[in-house]
Amino acid sequence: MTKKQNIKNAMTVDVEDYFQVSAFEQCISREDWDKLPHRVEENSNRILDLFETHGIKSTFFVLGWVAERYPDIVKRIVAQGHELASHGYGHQRATQQSRIEFKTDITKAKTILEDISGVQVTGYRAPSYSISKENLWTQDELFDAGYLYSSSVYPVKHDLYGIPDASRFSYRCESGLLEVPVTTVRIFNKNFPAGGGGFFRFYPYSISRWNIRQVNEKDCQTAVFYFHPWEIDPKQPKQQSASLKSRFRHYLNLNKTEGRLIRLFNDFEWGRMDELFLK
């Protein structure tokens, strides 16, 4: 077993089902979500079991849509000592919403989560990291709605998201909101993704471990890691009508994710976003 590092990192989970990802929005209608087999409850409970076994405390960014249908997930998250945070209501990208639509979405999600859990929700993550330079007003709306921090900016260049020249580490927005970007590693004056998701499944585990070590040891910063419940579920229904690129990204190495996560649990110290950044 690798010796754990001294810096504690943030473990986060974006709680959504396989059919809600942005990559499938062209081939799966929102109107069909309730007709499809749901796997988010079982997968979320598996993650909670893993966290309990390995002594991990995490932040769960939960969709309001999921919370409405599976309130026991929300209650278990809180009961096990994890932070409950918001992923918005219906996994609609902020870049696709008007200001009024965004405000309605984040307020609705916060209310649902707080009513079910009985705890205050102060954290938010935009679906597909969809806060960009073109909609920075979202940060004002989040602070006005009662959120204290966001983890919605990815300082990389990507076809779906990213602000490449954003700060790699936490910073205060003009509104007063704290933004905590997902982790990148700086190599040859360029930012590379190092915070989990599809890149964690794409890279060999040794690279992911090296990336986080660089952030901890060279940058002396806390890393922010994320994954989704569907990423530990290789038996999920396959969407054959999705593009080849979308299918490659979504299904790559799903059978290896859980094993890699366990190695990650053992190699680093992990904690909740609020406890690491809202001090």
Q: For residue 101, what is the domain's CATH number? A: 3.20.20.370
Q: Could you tell me if residue 2 is inside a domain? A: no
Q: Could you tell me if residue 256 is inside a domain? A: yes
pLDDT for 160 equals 65
pLDDT for 1 equals 41
Q: Could you tell me if residue 1 is inside a domain? A: no
How many CB atoms within 10 Å of residue 153? 27
Query: What span, in angstroms and rounded, lies between the C-alpha atoms of 237 and 150?
Result: 31
pLDDT for 6 equals 80
Alpha-carbon Rg for the chain, nearest whole angstrom, is: 17
pLDDT for 158 equals 66
- Number of domains forming the structure of the chain: 1
Residue-level pLDDT, tens digit, the chain, 279 residues: 444 558 999 999 999 999 999 999 999 999 999 999 999 999 999 999 999 999 999 999 999 999 999 999 999 999 999 999 999 999 999 999 999 999 999 999 999 999 999 999 999 999 999 999 999 999 999 999 999 999 999 998 766 667 888 999 999 999 999 999 999 999 999 999 999 999 999 999 999 999 999 999 999 999 999 999 999 999 999 999 999 999 999 999 999 999 999 999 999 999 999 999 998
Task: Decide: helix, strand or coil at residue 274.
Answer: helix
* Helices 40-54/254-267 angle, 10° precision: 30
Q: Could you tell me if residue 35 is inside a domain? A: yes
Task: Decide: helix, strand or coil at residue 265.
Answer: helix
Residue type, 211: N
Structural domain containing residue 83? 8-277
Q: Could you tell me if residue 173 is inside a domain? A: yes
